[in-house]
Chains A and B, each alone.
Chain A
């Protein structure tokens, strides 16, 4: 039921006005480089990314589930659109953005946000590291064919970004970096690539229009293969970022509302000529660090972004790309989990493997969705292997040498079935065998087949076999599927 709670709304929006507005301004500065850089990479005008950032920030501020999280046009999403833009053009990208939004709303309604718990810590670390590497790699083309001036200016920019906070933390150092480098470039008249060279910048507020594509099945089949990974990656990054904010601020968020919120934001973005986006880890951390806690921070970040561009458009066009590259390298460095490199020595090898596999798949495919899929599969397999290892079968012989009791402990399933079967001594001659599974759990038909085989094998040796202590869950499975307690046991076993 829709339950409007004015107190809560007030709390989420207006409990932290001054700091939210300041943080919004700081974040707006960090949004511009990414929106511009990744618009270029996906092959569209910077305008598309900037309109998207505005729409998505403003809409998620209103309908998202996590106050203080920053969503906008992101690199993770942009990299998935490259081929679509190349082959079909901008209008299809806008249509794909709309479909992405619809898919995300459906995901929110189906509460798929809860599935995030299957994404292990290692996969998340891999995701973050891969993202940072992608952001960094995306800056490299800017250096291609550029002279030493480019390298020098980027180095100087990074110097300003990291050293200026030592003097004062009251002024955003990326802003200082952008202003100083732009001033320097204009003063010396160096021949540098500027933002204006990259394509059209926004000169007015975005307007509503429908993507110019035929609305038929053919279009759907073109955009669906792009929209699906876009929706998945968008939700993954958004939910992960939401968790980060939850931890940082020690508050809760509505994950499924966030899914739907991302969807609505993408739909709005698509209608106003923007590309699909999602939450941004780096910029969100900057927001929290700058004191942003409420929805107002996200909202104002979007509004300031557009104001800066519309009012200062001519000046923005003169910013050398070197300044933006420096800011993006900072975001990449800040997003990468350096601690994970140190942890590799102490963490279990399997976790490190999962993390590294996720990173490698992403870096080679530029598709975060594939990386996460591989990571999740690998962690599931590792988990199965580990759980399978804790099956223990111990046995005792009674005083009269008449009856041997095997006690089985652990989880019996496909991965542990074989080691389970091998733990019995079929050569021993005893009239009675008891297999006590009261401390075991039987999960699947592979385990049942294994148990069947063991029982029948003992019977062939002339022993009388009983199974003790099947717990209820195991018992239902065994009743339904096992053959050893049915008269035509031998024939049916052969069918397995």
Chain B
């Protein structure tokens, strides 16, 4: 039986993460494993002590104080984490998931994920997390690092779950986009949904694009394929809006690595600007 890994942190996106996980679980008839990483954020633990004076055995004294502080905070975090996981279980059960397991881990999500990835087929994560900075339109601090490190497809949940009837594959001809096409063509997650295949390009023809279209068609999709000139971000966002697509499927990093270094990735800005969930492949 396949398994879906849902990452929660108790933020506003959490319930949407559960809904997306439940949706995927129903389509894949999979179990859901919920993890909550207790990110210690040790930096914020400190004593308000600017005395700059060292008492005898200063190091041991300081150690004892810091341990006591951390201990108290970790206790609270653990209790809070338990509540979050209980809520996750309740939510998923209500959404009709049969097999649910939960787990608490110490450490940040980025550190935690590699331990879990091999035994899971899909990772679900919120577009923004607790530590997200809405003002600067920054993504959840973890998101980019997680996608960068992930080897399994990652489903990035939007703020609220909407039933998914159609999806759009943003195609750029890169290897991870081809992986996305192959997944859509073969996996039960997207089976039977309406399929859009879009490429932002100034050329009219692209051999890879045609091949992708054929691959999807032979898998039984009625593909609505188009090559549209313009910047990927704008083209994809406009198409999603126009057709009311509920899920964006894309390769996490495409051909333009150099551009990424200079301007930040297309992927990131796409995830940021599109209001639909995104299924990503590396």
Interface residues of B in 245-265 (CB under 8 A from A): none
Which residue on chain B has the smallest CB distance to residue A158? Answer: B53
B175 within 8 Å of A by Cβ?
no
Which residue on chain B has the smallest CB distance to residue A292? Answer: B46
B44 within 8 Å of A by Cβ?
yes
| Neighbour of A285 across the interface among B40, B56, B58, B141, CB < 8 A | B58
Q: How many residues of B contact A (CB 8 A)?
A: 26
Distance of A338 Cα from B60 Cα, bound (Å): 10
B77 within 8 Å of A by Cβ?
no
Q: Provided the pairs A7-B145, A248-B63, A250-B42 are in contact, do residues A165 and B54 lie with their beta carbons within 8 angstroms? A: no
Residues of B within 8 A of A262 (CB): none
A207 within 8 Å of B by Cβ?
no
B59 within 8 Å of A by Cβ?
yes
Q: What interface size band does chain A fall in?
A: 35 or more
Q: Are A248 and B141 in contact (CB under 8 A)?
A: no
Binding site for A on B (CB under 8 A): 40, 42-44, 46-60, 62-63, 66, 70, 141, 144-145
Q: Are A169 and B70 in contact (CB under 8 A)?
A: no
Q: Are B51 and A339 in contact (CB under 8 A)?
A: no
Q: Are A289 and B62 in contact (CB under 8 A)?
A: yes
Q: Are B59 and A333 in contact (CB under 8 A)?
A: no
Q: Provided the pairs A285-B62, A288-B62 are in contact, do residues A164 and B51 lie with their beta carbons within 8 angstroms? A: yes
Which residue on chain A has the smallest CB distance to residue B47? Answer: A289
Residues of A within 8 A of B55 (CB): 162, 333-334
A335 within 8 Å of B by Cβ?
yes
- Known pairs A172-B53, A173-B51, A282-B54 / 10 extra A-B pairs, C-beta < 8 Å: A7-B145, A165-B49, A249-B42, A249-B66, A289-B47, A289-B52, A291-B48, A293-B42, A293-B43, A334-B59
Residues of B within 8 A of A331 (CB): 54
Distance of A294 Cα from B42 Cα, bound (Å): 11
| Neighbour of B54 across the interface among A244, A286, A294, CB < 8 A | A286
| Neighbour of A291 across the interface among B46, B58, B60, CB < 8 A | B46
Binding site for B on A (CB under 8 A): 7, 11, 15-16, 19, 22-23, 26-27, 29-30, 161-162, 164-165, 169-175, 244, 247-251, 281-282, 285-286, 288-291, 293-294, 330-331, 333-339
Distance of A290 Cα from B62 Cα, bound (Å): 10
Q: Are A335 and B48 in contact (CB under 8 A)?
A: no
Q: How near does chain A come to B118, taking the closest CB pair, in angstroms? A: 23
Q: Are B50 and A294 in contact (CB under 8 A)?
A: no
Which residue on chain A has the smallest CB distance to residue B41? Answer: A15
Distance of A285 Cα from B57 Cα, bound (Å): 11
Q: How near does chain B come to A102, taking the closest CB pair, in angstroms? A: 32
Which residue on chain A has the smallest CB distance to residue B62? Answer: A289
Q: How near does chain B come to A10, taking the closest CB pair, in angstroms? A: 9
Distance of A297 Cα from B58 Cα, bound (Å): 19
Q: Are A285 and B42 in contact (CB under 8 A)?
A: no
Residues of A within 8 A of B40 (CB): 250
Residues of B within 8 A of A7 (CB): 141, 144-145
Q: Are B49 and A169 in contact (CB under 8 A)?
A: yes
| Neighbour of B50 across the interface among A11, A172, A282, A293, CB < 8 A | A172
Q: Are B62 and A16 in contact (CB under 8 A)?
A: no
Distance of A27 Cα from B50 Cα, bound (Å): 10
| Neighbour of A173 across the interface among B53, B56, B62, B141, CB < 8 A | B53
| Neighbour of B49 across the interface among A161, A289, A335, CB < 8 A | A289
Q: Are B53 and A330 in contact (CB under 8 A)?
A: yes
| Neighbour of B58 across the interface among A173, A250, A294, A334, CB < 8 A | A334
**Would you give 22 A-B contacts (Cβ < 8 Å), ordered by A?**
A19-B46, A26-B50, A27-B52, A162-B53, A172-B51, A174-B52, A175-B52, A244-B59, A248-B59, A250-B42, A282-B54, A286-B54, A288-B46, A289-B51, A289-B58, A291-B47, A291-B48, A330-B54, A334-B53, A335-B54, A337-B57, A338-B56
